[in-house]
């Protein structure tokens, strides 16, 4: 099935997430974190750019702590007024502060939008990924800017999305600003995409 209405698809996917129970979310977080930690791209990384999951997003919090415990430098986004992203070091859950749009952001020193180009892997939020690695985000464009920044810098970190099983679809509409991801991690497994 080809899904061509991005706004309608976003509404549908967000409604499915809203129907999840806290047990569904916690169970998926544990499995997703374990599967992600098994990825060679994360196991061998020195720096990972990630994000703090909020609400019903596939959970990243246990994964962030596990990466940090392994001595991996974890960068988290800080949303700027123009929807671009700055980055700061993750120093633990006690150093996360509430921010705009219900997000949680690190309270430490800002490293600048270009800090992401030094990451070995980038964990991207999303609502869906298709069989070609096309990612559907929430529509704000923040991560499209990140992916463009990586391309302009010639940086090639692993680009990985964490999703629920039902969020991997056959095909999404692709626009010129869309950048493919390398892999998607779901509770039932890892799927890689050819470049």
Position 140 scores a pLDDT of 82
Task: Measure the CA–CA gap between 184 and 145, rounded to whole angstroms.
Answer: 20
Residue 10 counted as an annotated binding residue? yes
- Mean pLDDT across the stretch 145-165? 96
Other CB atoms within a 10 A radius of the CB of residue 113 amount to 17
Is 139 annotated in some ligand binding site? yes
Instruction: Quote helix, strand, coil % in the chain, to nearest 5.
Output: 35, 25, 40
Nearest alpha carbon to residue 60 among 129, 122, 108: 122
The tens digit of pLDDT for each residue in 90-134 reads: 999 999 999 988 899 999 999 999 999 999 999 999 999 999 999
In which band, very low, low, confident or very high, does the pLDDT at 4 lie, cut at 50, 70 and 90?
Answer: low
Mean pLDDT of 66-72: 96
Among 57-61, 124-128, 177-181, which stretch is predicted with the lowest mean pLDDT?
177-181
**Total Cβ atoms within 10 A of residue 47:** 18
Percent of the chain at pLDDT exceeding 90: 84
136 is in an annotated binding site: yes
174 belongs to an annotated ligand binding site? no
What is the pLDDT at residue 1?
Answer: 39
pLDDT of residue 121: 98
Domains and CATH numbers, the chain: 6-192 (3.40.50.10420)
Asked if residues 181 and 129 have their Cβ atoms less than 8 Å apart, the reply is yes
Alpha carbons 187 and 164: distance in angstroms, whole number:
6
The Cα 184–Cα 58 span in angstroms is: 12
H or E element, residue 18: helix 6-18
Q: Over 80: is that where the pLDDT of 2 sits?
A: no
Q: Is 12 annotated as a binding residue?
A: no
Both ends of the chain: CA-CA distance in Å? 22
Annotated ligand binding at 52? The verdict is yes
User: What per-residue confidence (pLDDT) applies to 195?
Assistant: 72
Q: Is 14 annotated as a binding residue?
A: no
CA–CA distance, 111 with 113 (Å, rounded to integer): 7
């Amino acid at each position: 099935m080809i899904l061509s209405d991005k706004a309608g698809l976003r509404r549908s996917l967000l409604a499915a997430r809203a129907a999840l129970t806290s047990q569904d979310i916690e169970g998926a977080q544990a499995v997703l974190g374990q599967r992600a930690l098994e990825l060679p791209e994360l196991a061998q990384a020195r720096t990972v750019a990630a994000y703090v999951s909020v609400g019903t997003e596939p959970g990243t919090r246990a994964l962030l702590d596990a990466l940090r415990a392994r001595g991996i430098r974890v960068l988290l986004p800080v949303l700027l007024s123009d929807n671009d992203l700055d980055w700061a070091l993750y120093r633990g859950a006690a150093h996360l502060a509430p921010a705009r749009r219900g997000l949680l952001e690190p309270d430490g020193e800002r490293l600048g939008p270009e800090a992401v180009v030094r990451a070995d892997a980038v964990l991207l939020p999303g609502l869906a990924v298709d069989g070609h690695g096309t990612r559907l985000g929430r529509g704000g464009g923040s991560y499209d800017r990140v992916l463009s920044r990586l391309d302009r810098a010639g940086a090639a970190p692993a680009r990985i999305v964490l999703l629920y099983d039902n969020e991997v679809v056959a095909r999404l509409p692709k626009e010129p600003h869309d950048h493919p991801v390398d892999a998607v991690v779901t509770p039932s497994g890892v799927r890689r995409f050819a470049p």
